[in-house]
Structure formats: C-alpha cells, structure tokens
Amino acid sequence: MTQQESSGTRFTFGKATLLPQEEMLEVKKSRKQLTIGIPREDQKNESRVALTPEAVEQLIEHGHQVIIESEAGKSANYQNTDYSESGGMIVEEKIQVFQSDIILKIAPLTLEEIELVNEQKIVISSLHLTSQTEEFIRKLMDKKITAISFENIKDEHNCHPVVRSMSTIAGTTSILIAAEYLSNVRGGKGVMLGGIPGITPAEVIILGAGNAAESAARAALGLGAHVKVFDNSVHRLRRLQNDIGQRLYTSVFHKQVMTRALRSADVVIGAMYLIEQGPRYVITEEMVKEMKKGAVIIDISIDQGGCIETSECRTQQDPSFIKHGVIHYCVPNLPSRVARTASIAISNVFLPLLVQMGESGGLTPFLKGDAGVRNGVYIFNGILTNEFIGIHFGIPSKDIELLMAAF
C-alpha cells in the first residue's frame, strides 16, 4: 500500500478493521463514484481554481472521475498537463464539464452557466449573496439543483474553514501591498515598514480584530512596524492580543482617539465586516483629510462596500488612486493576487469533503452525518433551505433538518 493510499484509508475508515466482515461489505457497497467538474473561472479578477492537481490525483485514487475545462488552472500556474498527468480528464467544451454530477467552482455560477447544468445536480461554489438576484435563485430551484455555498460551510470547530483561510491570506497580502505602495516603485514615500535599527518604524492602523486583521497584524509586526488595532468589541481585541502573544496597542472606536492615531499613521488596513445595523464607515472622509500625505489605505472589506468613506472599488488592472493626498488600494478578492496559495488552501478544504461524500454513498447520506456542510446548503433538490435568502427575495423556504428527515 502506498503512503497516499494509507493516508486516505486512515482518514476515512480509521475503525474499519474492527467491523465484522458482513458490515465491511455493506460499507463498500455504499460507496459511490463521483463525477466532479471543474470549470474555468471566467469572472474578472478571479484567478483561483477549486482543486489542485494533487487533490485530483487523490480523488482518482479513491475511484472518482474529475473533468477539468482546458486552462482552468492557468491563472494559478497549473497547466493542463499537470491535471492530465494526475488522472484528470481535460475537455475543451464548457458544457462537458457542466454535465458532471458535482460542479465545483470558485465564483458563483452565471445565469448562462446554470442553463448548462443538468437537473438534480450539485453545485458547490461561493454565493456572494449581496450581488445575487432573485432570478439566480429561482433558476437553480427550477432545475432542482442542490446548491452549497462554501463560505457557509463549517468544520468540527464551528469555524468557516474557507472564509478563515481566505481571510488569513487577505490579511497577510494587504501588508505586503502596503509595503509596496510605501516604496518609491509605486510613487510612495520611499519608506520601509520597520525593522531597521535607529530608524522609527512605520505606524500601521488595523480596523477590525477578526482573522484578516490578525493576519495583517502578524505580518506588520513581523516586518517591524508599530501596530495599533481598533475594533468595537473588547472581547475580540482581547482574543486577538492573546492569540498573537504579545502586547499590542488596542482600542475601541472613539472618534478623538482614532483621529489622533490617523494623523501619524503610515498605513491603514480596513478589515471590518459590518453586518450589524449602523453606520458603515468607521473612518470618514474628514478623518482621511487629516492623514499624512503619502499614507496608504488598503480596504480589504471593499467587496462589501468598504469601511472607509473614501474607498472606491477598483480592479487589479487599475487598483489604486490618490484622494486627499492618501494612496488608496481598494480591490476585492485579494487572495486572487496569490492564486496558487489560495487555490491550495481551498483545495485542502474540498478534498476531504469530496472523499467523505463518496464513502458515504453520495450527497444526501453525507449531509445527514455532517451538520457543518449542511450549514452551507441553501437549495436542496430545488427547495430553498436558507431562511435569510428566502426573506431577502420573498421566496418560501424550508428547514433543511426537516428535509433530511424525509430522505
């Protein structure tokens, strides 16, 4: 038995050797071969791919079939040959991919792509509810598709593994971008974040105390910067400080304190995700006017409207602008800047889920035993199961727990 086969066996059937022979035969009978389709991501600013060649190879070893649209991994620097040598089937026509039992995609399906999907298939992708329409939801329902939003999937620790991974990458990347825009290369002031004896370090303000904020703080501290973290929750600030393991300047939001901090800041990282009711912007335009010329703002939360009033959503082709003398970088989906790393992180989440799904005998028995993945299901066999989406679009919904009991 190879190392990979041994690893796969331990992951799925750690107690298989304790089962009676009849029960082991029953388990083998319940396994289902999956056909998984990986379309090329055509959405602007999306460079990630859902499965790496290494993950494809492991799925093939477990008896599944993986169909990949030509150049699906090109933006993440994976070639067609990488996938074909791993056992994947490369196809030129998009419709061939969408005939698969499971469509695995990063960006949400377009209305045109939904038309290519056969009825009663499974779609696993992001949802991006703020940019979706009622037509999108109803088209999925009409085709009796089971749709799973990977950003809502939870793990055994009640965390969202995909969101956590992408937030970690976004936070670290934001500091690297800030360092670049402080340099002469991007027309900045020509300063480093810190780490040079005898030279005062740059001041970095981080808005928020979640995963992205923590990663940004770690990266900034690692480069020698002086870091200040602001959030509206003392609990989150305390947790962040404990997780980082060293004393940090932390504060809840007070206008006077924030304004003073902004006057001396070299970098501001916006890592707030404001889902609560109330003012969206924690930094107003008047506050930005008080900042130093040549300071840098990176608004990670721009895909949700941003948490800084002067932020404007841009693209990777035209990522930055200057307003009130302050450089702004406001591009959504920062993980796509490091597409290969982000793809590996996402693939690491999807691979064990797909293996378990096959070993369970398909999606329905798998969902019955995995509450975390059930949390990501928003349409099951054409029935809307997400109450929030139902209220948002005025579509009746049903509790997925009740549906699971019926199947």
Q: 179 and 259 share a domain?
A: yes
Q: 281 and 182 share a domain?
A: yes
Instruction: Report the pLDDT value the prediction gives residue 29, as an integer from 0 to 100.
Output: 53
Instruction: Report the pLDDT value the prediction gives residue 30, as an integer from 0 to 100.
Output: 75
Instruction: Report the pLDDT value the prediction gives residue 362, as an integer from 0 to 100.
Output: 94
Instruction: Report the pLDDT value the prediction gives residue 11, as an integer from 0 to 100.
Output: 36
Q: 123 and 172 share a domain?
A: no
- % of the chain residues with pLDDT over 90: 83
- Residue 128: pLDDT band with limits 50, 70, 90: confident
For residue range 41-61, what is the model confidence (pLDDT) as tens digits? 998 889 999 999 999 999 999
* 2 found inside a domain: no
* 18 found inside a domain: no
Number of residues that this document lists for the chain: 407
- Residue 222: pLDDT band with limits 50, 70, 90: very high
Q: 185 and 267 share a domain?
A: yes
For residue range 146-173, what is the model confidence (pLDDT) as tens digits? 999 999 999 999 999 999 999 999 999 9
Examine the pLDDT at 117 and tell me if it is beyond 50.
yes
Q: Are 350 and 314 in contact (CB under 8 A)?
A: no
* 324 found inside a domain: yes
- Higher-scoring residue by pLDDT: 304, 169: 169
Determine phi and psi for 250, rounding to 5 degrees.
-130, 150
Examine the pLDDT at 13 and tell me if it is beyond 80.
no
For residue range 332-387, what is the model confidence (pLDDT) as tens digits? 999 999 999 999 999 999 999 999 999 999 999 999 999 999 999 999 999 999 99
Q: 243 and 381 share a domain?
A: no
- Mean pLDDT of the residues in the chain: 91
* Dihedral class, residue 183 (left if φ above 0, else alpha if ψ from -120 to 50, else beta): beta
Final residue belonging to a domain, choices 274, 307, 332: 332
Q: 58 and 183 share a domain?
A: no
- Residue 405: pLDDT band with limits 50, 70, 90: confident
Could you say which DSSP state residue 18 is in?
A: G
* 13 found inside a domain: no
Q: 209 and 62 share a domain?
A: no
- Residue 130: pLDDT band with limits 50, 70, 90: confident
Q: Could you list the active site residues?
A: 128, 303
Domain count, the chain: 2
Final residue belonging to a domain, choices 315, 332, 349: 332
Q: 379 and 395 share a domain?
A: yes
* 163 found inside a domain: no
Partners of 283 in the beta sheet?
A: 308
Q: 146 and 177 share a domain?
A: no
Q: Are 178 and 204 in contact (CB under 8 A)?
A: yes
Q: Which of 163, 141, 157 is nearest to 377 (CA)?
A: 141
Look up the domain containing 127 and give its range.
Answer: 31-152+338-406
Examine the pLDDT at 9 and tell me if it is beyond 90.
no
Examine the pLDDT at 251 and tell me if it is beyond 70.
yes
Q: 384 and 248 share a domain?
A: no
For residue range 266-276, what is the model confidence (pLDDT) as tens digits? 999 999 876 54
283: domain CATH number?
Answer: 3.40.50.720
Examine the pLDDT at 323 and tell me if it is beyond 90.
yes
- Amino acid found at 234: V
Q: 356 and 318 share a domain?
A: no
Examine the pLDDT at 406 and tell me if it is beyond 80.
no
For residue range 172-212, what is the model confidence (pLDDT) as tens digits? 999 999 999 999 998 899 999 998 999 999 999 999 999 99
Q: pTM above the 0.85 mark?
A: yes
Q: 316 and 350 share a domain?
A: no
- Residue 21: pLDDT band with limits 50, 70, 90: low
* 136 found inside a domain: yes
* 233 found inside a domain: yes
Instruction: Report the pLDDT value the prediction gives residue 277, as an integer from 0 to 100.
Output: 42
Final residue belonging to a domain, choices 297, 332, 367: 332
Q: Which of 314, 305, 353 is nearest to 162 (CA)?
A: 353
* 78 found inside a domain: yes
Is residue 382 exposed (0-12), middle (13-18) or buried (19+ Cβ within 10 Å)?
middle
Examine the pLDDT at 14 and tell me if it is beyond 90.
no
